Structure 1
Amino acid sequence: MHEVGAGNPEGVDIEEYIDDDGVPLDSVPFFPYKVLSAMPAIGFFGAGFLCDNVFLP
């Protein structure tokens, strides 16, 4: 079963290496890494959509 908050692929045990606060050391946080990596694609799509609607109505 997928665990909520685990930004890892299925089958990867992230509970082996945990810091003092209980945060897994071998996982990638959803924010900022995955959110910011999607921003260029959102920007290109938004710019294309805007140009399409403004210049080619």
Structure 2
Amino acid sequence: MLASLIRKPKFTTQLHQLLTTLNAVAHTQRHERRLENIRMKAANPREKVMIFGILE
């Protein structure tokens, strides 16, 4: 959730500065984007699809 807030232009500088000051940001934005890409590549959308019934 924090990664998505940091990436919004409206909150980028102020929120990131606050989190950095509080030592709450453990990773760089580059690392967060890399992890996000890994999660997207590993995701299987077929697992999320729910079939409600087939009309014949």
| TM value normalised by structure 2 | 0.34
Q: Find the structure with the greater CA-based Rg.
A: 1
Work out which structure has the larger RCO, using CA pairs closer than 8 Å and 6 or more positions apart in sequence.
1
